[in-house]
């Protein structure tokens, strides 16, 4: 039997890329590839890229530069670029990096086997179309292999919101939801393979409106049906837009036990003037009222968010409004970024804030967010929660997993296996994790 070919995939950016990389590995499995953890022995290298900020996009070119030697030593090596940089800069990548054999955009992954067959030996393959067909249904999977206890499941892709700073509507295209039955059958399949927690993914996941047997289903309806799947213990979803957080979904947070008390709900800024310029279509006040309603349904929910500082024309006063919003909401987890101008987006035309001022604001915001995160984490000490154990910890005899609120928790005890869901009491709050004992 021929040796299997080796595939090395490196994934950048969001969780949707993680899901896509898994699907691409499965698709290339049909072409005789098995995954390897090192680029050095690979027959094919695939970079699954992110275009959200300039720095993320630049990484692709520096990473490709590092593969020059490998390609020289092994001319048969195929190098591919997938993801949002492929979508946005496919032709330019081919021009700047002649070693690249294949470029595939996020909507064309189901064509990867055919592209792989076509590329190499000097031949190039490029596909950055937005085809009509459902790529996930066209991706042929390998025989079912066992899975770890947690998995991502993309249910919705693309975005119609057009925030003024964001490339997603251009790289991922218009909002599309997968039919509900397909999602349910993929979830059942994951559970049969050992998965106990599923995170539903979408760029605007709470705008989900997938076809069901009786009209379109909302995300809340999908979650309620998923909760009926035996063996599936936990459901999460990300990322959500405030304007799509409807009453039904808020109610589900109070009523569906399997839906975890964690919500990532980016607001980006606390200044109404900036929110308007960002085309967010909500105010800081409406966001705060929304969180009040969510907390009324599920009082212990942990709020997470995204912020951009230094958006064009942001003043010190606008930034103060962002700090005030953070003080009011109290976040358990946050991501904050300095504005990065993205070619082709409306905000790219506008004058930049002084970079030193933007850096300074980012530092001040991050100090506040870190303090809040730490306070909320510290407040878990003494409380009981359930942990889904995912892997061995760094210390011998230790197992690590996630709490309901998505805190990393580790426990030193005998008899805990990967995939176990156990009740624990939190005993200590460390810089990036919690210690606990079984109860
Ligand atoms: N500059 C900085 N941050 C950005 N994000 C999206 N586009 C940009 C940009 N041009 C951030 C937003 C979004 C997160 C995924 O990335 O906060 O919610
Ligand atoms: Fe980008 Fe805004 Fe869509 Fe989120 S909602 S993906 S930030 S355009």
Whichever domain contains 315, its CATH number is 3.80.30.20
Q: Is a pLDDT exceeding 60 seen at residue 143?
A: no
Nearest atom, ligand 2, residue 241 CA: 5
Cα 50 to ligand 2 centroid, rounded to whole Å: 14
C-alpha dihedral (117, 123, 129, 135), degrees to nearest 10: 10
Cα 266 to ligand 2 centroid, rounded to whole Å: 9
pLDDT at 130: 86
Cβ(263) to ligand 2 under 6 A? no
**Among protein residues, the one whose CA lies closest to atom 5 of ligand 2:** 161
Mean per-residue pLDDT, 160-174:
96
Same domain, 353 and 430: no
Q: Is a pLDDT exceeding 70 seen at residue 431?
A: yes
Same domain, 191 and 327: yes
Q: What domain range includes position 304?
A: 135-378
Cα 264 to ligand 2 centroid, rounded to whole Å: 13
Same domain, 51 and 75: yes
CA 112 vs CA 31, 86, 124, 414: distances in Å: 10, 13, 13, 45
User: Given pLDDT bands bounded at 50, 70 and 90, which one contains residue 52?
Assistant: very high
Q: Tens of pLDDT along 271-294? A: 999 999 999 999 999 999 999 999
Mean per-residue pLDDT, 366-391:
98
14 annotated as belonging to a binding site for a ligand:
yes
Average pLDDT of the chain to the nearest whole number: 95
Cβ(362) to ligand 1 under 6 A? no
Same domain, 21 and 166: no
Q: Is a pLDDT exceeding 80 seen at residue 139?
A: no
Say what percent of the chain tops pLDDT 90.
Answer: 91
Q: Tens of pLDDT along 230-280? A: 999 999 999 999 999 999 999 999 999 999 999 999 999 999 999 999 999
Q: Which of 163, 208, 335 to mutate to test the pocket of ligand 2 (most atoms within 8 A of CB)?
A: 163
Q: Return all residues near 104 (Cβ < 8 A) that are at least 6 apart.
A: 80, 81, 82, 86, 111, 112, 115, 125, 126, 127, 128
Same domain, 361 and 407: no
Cβ(163) to ligand 2 under 6 A? yes
Cβ(278) to ligand 2 under 6 A? no
Say what percent of the chain tops pLDDT 70.
Answer: 98
Tell me the CATH number at 395: 2.40.50.140
> How many CB atoms lie under 10 A from the CB of residue 88?
20
pLDDT at 121: 87
Number of structural domains in the chain: 3
pLDDT at 400: 98
- 239 contacts 264 by C-beta, under 8 angstroms: yes
Same domain, 66 and 199: no
Same domain, 286 and 399: no
pLDDT at 56: 87
Cα 52 to ligand 2 centroid, rounded to whole Å: 10
Cβ(166) to ligand 1 under 6 A? yes
Cβ(204) to ligand 2 under 6 A? yes
Among the candidates 378, 402, 429, a domain finishes at 378
User: Given pLDDT bands bounded at 50, 70 and 90, which one contains residue 1?
Assistant: low
Cβ(350) to ligand 1 under 6 A? no
334 annotated as belonging to a binding site for a ligand:
no
Cβ(308) to ligand 1 under 6 A? yes
Q: Is a pLDDT exceeding 70 seen at residue 140?
A: no
pLDDT at 388: 98
Mean per-residue pLDDT, 99-116:
94
Q: How far apart are CA 155 and CA 220, in angstroms?
A: 13
pLDDT at 412: 96
């Amino acid at each position: 039997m021929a040796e299997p070919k080796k595939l090395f995939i490196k994934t950048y950016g969001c969780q949707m890329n993680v899901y896509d990389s898994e699907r691409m590995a499965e698709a290339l499995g049909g072409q005789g590839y098995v995954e390897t953890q090192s680029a050095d022995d690979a027959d094919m290298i695939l970079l699954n890229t992110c275009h959200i900020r300039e720095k993320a996009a630049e990484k692709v070119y520096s990473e490709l530069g590092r593969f020059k030697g490998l390609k020289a030593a092994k001319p048969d090596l195929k190098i591919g670029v997938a993801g949002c940089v492929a979508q946005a800069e496919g032709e330019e990548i081919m021009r700047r990096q002649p070693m690249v054999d294949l470029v595939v955009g996020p909507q064309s992954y189901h064509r990867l086997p055919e592209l792989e067959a076509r590329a190499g030996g000097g031949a190039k393959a490029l596909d950055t179309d937005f085809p009509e067909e459902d790529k996930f249904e066209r991706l042929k999977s390998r025989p079912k292999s066992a899975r770890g206890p947690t998995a991502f499941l993309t249910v919705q892709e693309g975005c119609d919101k057009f925030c003024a700073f964001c490339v997603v509507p251009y790289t991922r295209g218009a909002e599309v939801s997968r039919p509900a039955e397909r999602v349910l059958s993929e979830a059942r399949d994951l559970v049969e393979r050992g998965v106990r927690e599923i995170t539903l993914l979408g760029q605007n996941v709470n705008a989900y409106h997938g076809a069901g047997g009786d009209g379109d289903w909302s995300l809340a309806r999908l979650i309620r049906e998923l909760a009926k799947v035996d063996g599936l213990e936990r459901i999460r979803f990300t990322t959500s837009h405030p304007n799509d957080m409807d009453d039904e979904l808020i109610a589900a947070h109070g009523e569906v036990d399997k839906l975890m008390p964690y919500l990532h709900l980016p607001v980006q800024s606390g200044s109404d003037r900036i929110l308007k310029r960002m085309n967010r279509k909500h105010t800081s006040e409406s966001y705060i009222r929304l969180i009040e309603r969510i907390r009324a349904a599920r009082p212990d929910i942990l709020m997470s968010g995204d912020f951009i500082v230094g958006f064009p024309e942001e003043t010190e006063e606008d930034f103060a409004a962002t700090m005030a919003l953070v003080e009011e909401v109290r976040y358990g987890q946050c991501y904050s970024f300095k504005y990065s101008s993205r070619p082709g987006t409306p905000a790219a035309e506008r004058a930049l804030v002084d970079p030193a001022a933007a850096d300074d604001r980012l530092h001040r915001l991050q100090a506040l967010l870190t303090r809040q995160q730490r306070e909320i984490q510290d407040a878990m000490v003494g409380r009981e929660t359930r942990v889904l154990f995912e892997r061995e910890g760094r210390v011998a005899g230790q197992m690590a997993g996630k709490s309901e609120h998505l805190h990393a928790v580790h426990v030193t005890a005998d008899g805990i296996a990967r995939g176990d869901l156990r009740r624990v009491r939190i005993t200590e709050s460390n810089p990036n994790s919690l210690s606990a004992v079984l109860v």
